[in-house]
Amino acid sequence: MGQLAFLKAFILVAMSIDANDNRRHVHVFQKGQRHLKSVAKIWIESNGEKCIEIAESTLLAKENKVLVDAIDRHWEYINEQITITFRGEKTRPINIE
């Protein structure tokens, strides 16, 4: 599991087991939870092009918007870190304000 970014109360993560999925995506976990559980899955591309969409989420609409906007602003970096995760290398997560 590669941590990609920290955003407020959330951690954006890529999982190496997702390398063969049809579309690249991030899993969103809430910080501070005793047991980590994904609260959202967000597609970040379609056919290799930037296309950010909520795949599934238990979050409020405004929290989803904050996440989508942050991913949009940092898309290139997040996409590069997903590639690093898929190669089995250590990621360098960023703090997003």
Residues 54-72: pLDDT tens digits?
999 999 999 999 999 999 9
Indicate if the pLDDT at residue 33 is higher than 70: no
Q: Which two tokens stand for residue 37?
A: 């559980």
Tell me how many domains the chain contains. Answer: 1
Secondary structure percentages of the chain, helix, strand, coil, to 5 = 30, 40, 30
Residue 87 belongs to domain spanning:
2-96
Enclosing H/E stretch for 1: none
pLDDT at position 35, please? 67
Instruction: Please report, for residues 19, 59, 63, 82, the alpha-carbon distance to residue 11 in angstroms, rounded to integers and kept in the order given.
Output: 19, 14, 13, 14
Tokens found for residue 78: 């997040």
